[in-house]
Structure 1
Amino acid sequence: MTADNWVPRRPKTVPDDKQAAQRALVDSILSGDGRASADQRAQAFNGGGPLRNLVENVIATPVQVTDGDFAAAKAAGFTDDQLFELVVCAAVGHSTRLYEAGLAALEEAI
C-alpha cells in the first residue's frame, strides 16, 4: 500500500480495544484504591489540586521536575506513595486530553 492509495478508516462509533483499555486505566487511577484521596487524584488528573505547581510541571515540562519539587510536596505532608499516585494521575490526565483531542481531530478530518 502506498500513500497514493491509502484510504483513512472512519473511527468506529463503538469503542475499540485501545479506547476501552484507556478508559479502564483512567477508571482505575481515579476510582481504585490509593493512598491519595479520590478527590486529590481527580484534581491532579485535571491539572490542579493541592500540588498544583508540581502537577503543572509534570504536565508542561516533565524533564524539569526536580528533587526539590518533591521535597516541597513532602514538606507539605504528602507521602512518597501519594506523590507517585498524583504524578501518575497528572500524566495520565494530560495524555487523556491529548488522546481525546487526537480522536476528535480524526473524526473531523474523516
Structure 2
Amino acid sequence: QSVIDAVGRQIADTPPEVTLKDWISDDSFDFLSRLGNITVPTLAICGQEDQLTPVRYHEFFRDHLPNCQLEVVPDSGHWPYAEQPELFDRAVRGFLDSLPNPC
C-alpha cells in the first residue's frame, strides 16, 4: 500500500502538461534500430507483473543488445525498485559485481 500511496502522491504532484509531454515523447522516441550499436554491458530490469512495459519488451532488449543481462523481479509491477527493493538491489549489485574492474 505504501508504494501505491507514494506513486499516487507523485502523480498528483505532477502537472498534467508534464505528464502529457512525457507520454507524447514516449511515443516518438524510437531507438530500437540502434540497439546493436550499444556494446557496453547493460542490465535490463523489469517487474514480472509489469503491465506498462511487459517482460517480453525486456526480453527483446536482452535478445538485441550485444551484452545485455535481463533480471525479472518477481511479485513486482512497473516499479520493482520500490515494490521489491531488496531484490532490485541484489540484481543491480550482482550486475555491477560481474563487470570487469577497470583499474
TM bracket (short chain): under 0.3
| Higher normalized contact order (CA 8 Å, seq sep 6+, divided by chain length) | 1
TM-score by length of 2: 0.23
Query: Highest Rg: 1 or 2?
Result: 1
- Which structure's residues are more often helix, by fraction? 1
